[in-house]
Amino acid sequence: MKVAFLGTGLMGLPMAQRLLAANIELVAYNRTPEKLAPLQAAGAEIATHPRQAIRAADCIILMLTNAAAIYHVLLSDTSWRTLEGRTVIQMGTITPTESQEIRDAVIGGGGEYMEAPVLGSIPEAKAGKLIVMVGGKPEQYQRHLKLLQNFGSEPVLVGSVGAAAGVKLALNQLIASLTTSFALSLAFVERQGIDIDLFMQILRESSLYAPTFDKKMRRMLDGNYTNPNFPTKHLLKDTDLFISEAKSLGLDLGSIEAVRQLVQTAVKMSFGNDDYSSIFSAISQWGEGVGE
């Protein structure tokens, strides 16, 4: 099998590198060509246009920013005409509705489609320890299981197309909400002059604890959000996707809409390309006029 990998950003690059390390023949495309240099050095074929990558491959993996990018790269007229007989595996974060619409377009072009979004960040991508959630037919899952195991040892078949995208959005809502709640408690404890190590010791021993708290605490206290595993702007995008999809389900979205406002404030504070733990600064500096 020859694989085309479209989208080699923060997550796409280490994922593509894992395929090369497994001796899988790879052709790569990225809208910013400079990001392809490490893959070219590792033996990947480089395509200057998406249709070249698609034509050269049996299977196309998408790790693109959003649905608009997928339509531009995969479903433009010239690319769409090359999909016949090929499998598209969509691994980015989009809504269930978007995933189903893209599936229909791919099938209309003579190809087949499945989704396989992932949970985890750059360290897990490098180590092949991502949680891979699959939406598609059981036979598609079985046929591509070995390929997907390069990214995570136990890919989970969630259901048909749209189901895995839904689970991914539900999990990313938790990322935004948990991080915001922890940041508020941490800022409160800090302002109260309470020993933070003692607070964390009590928290760790409780059923309230989540490992992400320790991963983000030091960044928050130091105000050091550089070298992100997941940028704030991407969390804002995913929060917007969750809200847009959840609106049709009759849910009260008051809590996540308040979280979204804080994430947006962090972006406005120029933390868009930095780690999403920058939500802490949006909370702790609110009284300095940031939240006005």
Residue type, 114: M
Domains of the chain: 3-159 (3.40.50.720), 165-285 (1.10.1040.10)
The pLDDT-based confidence of 291 (bands split at 50, 70, 90) is: very low
pLDDT tens profile 141-175:
999 999 999 999 999 999 999 999 999 999 999 99
Residue type, 16: A
Closest residue by Cα to residue 242 from 234, 71, 10: 234
Average pLDDT over residues 105-122: 96
Q: What is the pLDDT of residue 201?
A: 98
Task: Please check the confidence at residue 209 and state whether its pLDDT lies above 60.
Answer: yes
Catalytic residue among 137, 168, 233, 268: 168
pLDDT tens profile 16-65:
999 999 999 999 999 999 999 999 999 999 999 999 999 999 999 999 99
- Which of 79 and 246 is assigned the larger pLDDT? 246
Residue type, 290: V
Q: What is the mean pLDDT of the chain?
A: 95
pTM score, two decimals? Answer: 0.93
Q: Tell me the two tokens of residue 32.
A: 């910013």
Q: What is the pLDDT of residue 289?
A: 53
168 is catalytic: yes
At a CB cut-off of 8 Å and minimum separation 6, what does 245 contact? 95, 96, 97, 166, 169
Closest residue by Cα to residue 26 from 2, 55, 62, 7: 2
pLDDT tens profile 77-105:
888 889 999 999 999 999 999 999 999 99
